[in-house]
Amino acid sequence: MTTLPLRALNRALMDRQFLLRRTDRTPLEVIERLVALQAQEPNWAYVGLWSRIHAFTQSELTALLEDRQVVRSALLRSTQHLAAADDFRRLRPLLQPVLGRTAGSPHFTRNSSGLDAASLVAEGLGLLAGGTLPRKELARRLAERHPGRDGRILAGQVELCTPLAHGATTGAWGSWGNRSAVSVTPAEVWLGQPMATAATATATKDSAKELIRRYLAAFGPAGVKDVQAWCGLTRLREVIADMRAELRRYSGPDGRELIDLADAELPDPETLAPVRLLPAFDNALLGHADRTRIISDEDRKWVMPGQAQVRPTFLVDGWVHGTWSLDAGTLRLTPFRPLCATDRAALEQEANRLLQFVGGSVVSYSDPVAAQSS
C-alpha cells in the first residue's frame, strides 16, 4: 500500500478544491463539484467562489439563487449550505437523521419539552401555508401559540426537522453578518419538485455510496472518520467496505488507511501552490476530521477558537499561514509567523484583488502576537 506524505495530501486537496489554479467552470459546476458550499454568512460563499473561479462576479451566484438552481438551507452538519437544487433534493433526505439529532439536542428539547416534534413541524408548515415567511415572523407566531417558550428556538427546530429553503435575498450578496432578512419556504414548494425518498435500506445505502464518491472527488484521499466528520453521518465504515472494489487504498502519514476513487489522479507534491484568501467556514478547512493536511494543530486554535467559529484564513504554499478580516473597507492580514518578501508580495497582490471584489480600499497588517492573545 502506497504511503502518502502530508504534502501529497495537501496538494490533492488544493487541486480538487480548485485552489492550485482557478477554474473556468461555471459557479454551478463548482458548487456541484464541492457537493455543497458552506454559507453560514451569505457573503462568505461568494468569496469562496471568487477564490476558485476565474473572473467570478457576485451577479453569477445571485442569479443562480434567484432562478432557484441553487438552494440555501440547513444541510451538512446541520449548518447552512448552498447546494445545486437537484443535489439538495437528494441529499437532504439522506442527511435528515443528522439534522434530526441536532433538533433533539438539549438546546432545542429544553425549550420544547412536552411538545410532540411531529406536531410542531406540522404546526410550522401550517403557518407557512405553502408560502414564504420571514424566519422571525414564523418564530413570533409559534411563540404566540406556545407562551413561555422561545419562538426562535421553536422555528429553528422546525427548520431542522423538515426541509425549508431560504429566499433568494437571504443568500444574496449583502451586508456582512446580516441574518435578519432570512425567509423560509417549504423546499418542495420552492423547488417545484418533491424531495427524493429512499424507500428501502438498499436505496439509502446506494445514496450513501454516491455521497462518498462525491466527497472523495472533492476532498480525497481521506479516511472513514474524515467522511463522517464532513457530513455528520455515522456507521459509514460498512458502506465503504462494500465499495472496496471501486476504491483505491493508501496509507496516510500516521499509518491510518485512506481511500480514494480508483481513477482519481494525484498532483505532483512539489506543484507550487499560490497564495489564496479563504472565507470564514471554508469547505477546505472543514472537510476532514484530521485537518493537518491544510492547517497545523498549533495554528488551528487561532482559526477555530470555538465550535461555532472558523475565521477567514489565507494560505501560503497550501497551508493556513494566518487570518484576515474586513472592517470599514480595510482588509487586515494577521500572519501567524513572519513572511518572506516573495510571499508577502504575493499575499498583498491577492488581498488587493479581493478588495476589488468586496469593495474595500486598504490592506493592512495586524500584530500576530496581539491578535493571538486577544
Question: Is residue 370 scored above 50 in pLDDT?
Answer: no
Put simply, whether the predicted model's pTM sits higher than 0.95 gets the answer no
Which H or E element spans position 155? helix 151-161
CB atoms within 10 A of CB 159: 23
Whole-number percent of the chain with pLDDT over 90: 87
Place of cell 406540522: 122
Mean per-residue pLDDT, 317-343: 95
pLDDT of residue 177: 52
Please give the grid coordinates belonging to residue 177. 453578518
Mean per-residue pLDDT, 191-219: 90
**pLDDT classification of 296: cutoffs 50, 70, 90:** very high
Mean per-residue pLDDT, 290-300: 96
Q: Which of 11-20, 177-186, 300-309 has the highest mean pLDDT?
A: 11-20
pLDDT tens-digit series, residues 132-171 = 999 999 999 999 999 999 999 999 999 999 999 999 988 8
pLDDT of residue 180: 58
Q: Contact, 40 vs 78, CB < 8 A? A: no
pLDDT of residue 121: 97
Whole-number percent of the chain with pLDDT over 70: 95
Question: Is residue 175 scored above 60 in pLDDT?
Answer: no
Angle at 152 between CA 287 and CA 142, to 5 degrees: 130
pLDDT of residue 308: 78
Largest Cα–Cα separation, the chain = 63
**pLDDT classification of 179: cutoffs 50, 70, 90:** low
Q: To the nearest whole number, what is the mean pLDDT of the chain?
A: 93
pLDDT of residue 368: 66
Mean per-residue pLDDT, 274-292: 96
- What sign does the CA torsion over 372, 296, 360, 281 have? negative
Q: Contact, 120 vs 112, CB < 8 A? A: yes
pLDDT of residue 172: 83
pLDDT of residue 41: 87
pLDDT tens-digit series, residues 12-54 = 999 999 999 999 999 999 999 999 999 988 899 999 999 999 9
Question: Is residue 372 scored above 50 in pLDDT?
Answer: no
pLDDT tens-digit series, residues 51-94 = 999 999 999 999 999 999 999 999 999 999 999 999 999 999 99
pLDDT tens-digit series, residues 219-272 = 999 999 999 999 999 999 999 999 999 999 999 999 999 999 999 999 999 999
Which residue type sits at 92? R
pLDDT of residue 173: 86
DSSP string, 292-348: TTTS-HHHHHHH-SBTTB---EEEETTEEEEEEEEETTEEEEEESS---HHHHHHHH
